[in-house]
Chains A and B, each alone.
Chain A
């Protein structure tokens, strides 16, 4: 019977025992210096443990004690390896396990990516309509406070909202009339707060909870009441579809999927950011198209010029978008105008939504202060 020397730790104390191993048919027999049997380890229970290259270290599976054998005689190690089913020093089973791990991990990664592309927007679409209005209002109030603080860069003492100074009152009245007409046509059935603010950019946006912001720059660039109305109608589409709430839900879903599950392996942050940007802009391009369609219906309902939005967008955007178009969260003005024209019949100009005097007053809604 093959025998050899080994070092043995019994797991009860840290004492080193120099022992003789005997390779019996079913078990390793461990004998101390005097030849007394100290322990017997069945081959089927042996497990290979990590150790430096020149040492073969084994233990017993399901053993409450951490008993260890250390063998430096590599021939002996090889014979034990042959006898013990779970020990595989060539690394073949380790490689098999590792391949399985890589396979599953890759599968998990693919699943995550697919869920983020398809699952998250679907879930958000399902959840947004059932979120209680009161909850959305709260989110709206919180976001609104933050957005205002971010946007209001004017000197202290200058009101951020237009229409409260004495000379702005008539403009405000005209603006409110326009919004009321749009709101009635849109049949929103939820609170709506529309404000004109002192910012030079030609922009407008909607927040959760029915907050809509129109920038002074947009009113400056609008040539007809219908153009301005068309933009507001588009934003009302966002309010009606609860897109703000949907964006919050999508953001939370993506944060969870990417931020929590993937952890932060080095460089992962960039992947997450890029993926989020691309995904969120992809989601929101669809959302924008839906809001455009809503806006067209509202304008048609008022007998106003439904094509005004496309025209206006193309004028303020020009036709060359800057940067990467897959990163844009709005479709290009050209695409949008084409889509709008496809569903909006060309209008024999009906009655404009505001008369010339009202429109002139509205144009001066922010005249009280220099921007």
Chain B
């Protein structure tokens, strides 16, 4: 029994399975499915303009059903706010793009300008992510007080770019330290009322946990790359230059550079291994990072811990794959029927303009339905389950410390959210 149960007016209905602490998730699958499916249809009808309302609805659902120590979170943001933020972002980005374009013409070296533009956009993107986080925090109300974020987005963006570079240099080994450092920065600037957050997760511990996964993916990749290094590329180039049909070239390679086929074969197999390992290990990776992250969160006097189990996360992903297979089968049937109908109504597309138009429309339509279906299924199964599991397996020690927080801060601007959307770097 936690202290909150005594004071609660009525026990909330809700799942108690998997629950290990005083954080709960009360949301049911069905209403969330409904919300997402309706949203997907409206996204299609409005060419995506509905996304601001859909994002707001999903957040409201997730926040409202997440209960910490007997009290649920409340998302107070509105769709119009982020729509406005988006329009402001467009007004900022369009002139920026034009400046890049003109600069590229002036400099004449499109290559250098492209690199500058990519770095600048990456910085703006990370700045946007920071500001969007600020927006989400200030729209999160808990027990009549809001969360907020201090700190500089520019500082954060520079840190992220630095860590990206480090990760690239170290083949991803720097990832745990990057995460630890960035989370320290993020949570250190996160406040609930007058409580300042902290992050105490150690990058080294995450590295130790994740090392086997890293080896499982990196080792085959390195084998694949070294296989390519054994090939005498200059020789292959000379063989290619002598021209002839593809068959001729392949035959000559077999005679003059027999190691080429072996190397290519090894490369393909090893890369296949790496990709499979990455896919199979992804839920494990997610579990490890999530558990490490939750367990590293601190507020004065309050420790958060997570008991998230890998097995549960795998179950969630398997369910997602099951739904996906059913959906894929349905889509195959629908595709077949659609083209059969078009064929019978208009004849083949070589003959009639109508058949051609409907074929293209059907192709685009089916693609969009597939893509939206896929994303809807993913959000309603895997993503929702991981959210639920993460909540249900978390626990706050000393939750009574939450009883004496005082209010501080005001609502942040929705510009970051809009920038993030315009740059396609939006988070949840």
Residues of A participating in the B interface, judged by any CB pair closer than 8 Å:
5-7, 9-16, 18, 49-55, 57, 65-68, 70, 72, 98, 101-102, 105-106, 108-109, 112-113, 135, 138-139, 141-142, 145-146, 155, 256, 260-268, 270-271, 274, 278, 324-327
Contacts and interface: CB of A to CB of B under 8 A. Distances in A.
A280 B404 CA distance: 63
A271 B47 contact: yes
Given A11-B144, A266-B371, A278-B360, A54 B49 contact: no
A86 to B, nearest CB: 15
B76 to A, nearest CB: 7
Given A14-B193, A52-B12, A106-B45, A266 B374 contact: yes
A102 B45 contact: yes
17 contacts: A11-B145, A14-B142, A14-B144, A14-B402, A16-B71, A50-B61, A51-B64, A51-B74, A52-B64, A54-B10, A65-B407, A142-B105, A146-B110, A155-B241, A262-B48, A270-B364, A270-B371
A263 B43 contact: no
A52 B27 CA distance: 8
B407 A145 contact: no
B193 A263 contact: no
Nearest to A248: B101
B48 A50 contact: no
Contact of B26 (A5, A52, A324): A52
Given A142-B105, A270-B371, 12 more contacts: A11-B144, A52-B26, A52-B65, A55-B12, A55-B72, A65-B407, A70-B9, A105-B45, A109-B46, A265-B51, A267-B369, A268-B47
For A13, A108, A109, A262, the residue with the greatest tally of chain B CB atoms inside 10 Å of its CB is A13
Interface in B44-63: 45-51, 53, 60-61, 63
Q: Is the interface of A mostly helix, strand, loop or mixed?
A: mixed
A72 B10 contact: yes
Contact of A105 (B46, B71, B143, B367): B46
Interface in B345-367: 349, 353, 356-357, 359-360, 363-364, 367
B354 to A, nearest CB: 11
B404 A5 contact: no
B2 to A, nearest CB: 13
A137 to B, nearest CB: 10
Contact of B404 (A14, A54, A262): A14
A256 B94 contact: yes
B42 A66 contact: no
Contact of A14 (B45, B86, B145, B372): B145
Nearest to B98: A252
Interface in B277-326: none
Interface in B392-428: 402-407, 421-422, 424
Contacts of B150: none
Interface residues of B, number: 72
Interface of B is mostly: helix
Contacts of B104: 142
Contact of B90 (A68, A135, A261): A261
Q: Please give me the 10 A-B residue pairs with the lowest Cβ-Cβ distance, nearest first.
A: A267-B371, A9-B144, A265-B48, A105-B46, A266-B375, A14-B405, A267-B368, A14-B143, A109-B47, A105-B49
Nearest to B53: A101
A10 B144 contact: yes
A265 B379 CA distance: 14
A146 B109 CA distance: 10
B323 to A, nearest CB: 16
Contact of B45 (A16, A55, A109, A155): A109
- Scoring A5, A105, A142, A145 by chain B CB atoms within 10 A of each residue's CB, the highest score goes to A105
B93 interface: yes
B7 interface: yes
Q: Which of B13, B50, B60 has the most CB of A within 10 A?
A: B50
Nearest to A258: B47
Contacts of A105: 42, 45-46, 49-50, 53
Contacts of B141: 66, 68
B51 A141 contact: no
B108 interface: yes
B131 interface: no
Contact of B49 (A14, A66, A67, A108): A108
A94 to B, nearest CB: 11
A274 B12 contact: no
A260 B105 contact: no
Given A108-B46, A109-B49, A260 B360 contact: no
Given A105-B50, A265-B51, A271-B47, A13 B372 contact: no
A66 B144 contact: yes
A141 B105 CA distance: 8
Contacts of B367: 267, 270
B370 interface: yes
Contacts of A267: 367-372, 375
A131 B181 CA distance: 50
Contacts of A324: 349, 356, 359-360
B146 interface: yes
Given A101-B53, A270-B371, A66 B145 contact: yes
A351 to B, nearest CB: 41
Contact of B46 (A102, A141, A266): A102
Contacts of A65: 144, 407
Contacts of B51: 263, 265
A12 B404 CA distance: 10
Contacts of A265: 43, 48, 51, 372
Given A16-B143, A68-B144, A264 B49 contact: no
Contacts of A53: 26
Contacts of B105: 135, 138-139, 142
Contacts of B364: 270-271, 274
A271 B404 contact: no
A117 to B, nearest CB: 14
B9 A5 contact: yes
B79 interface: yes
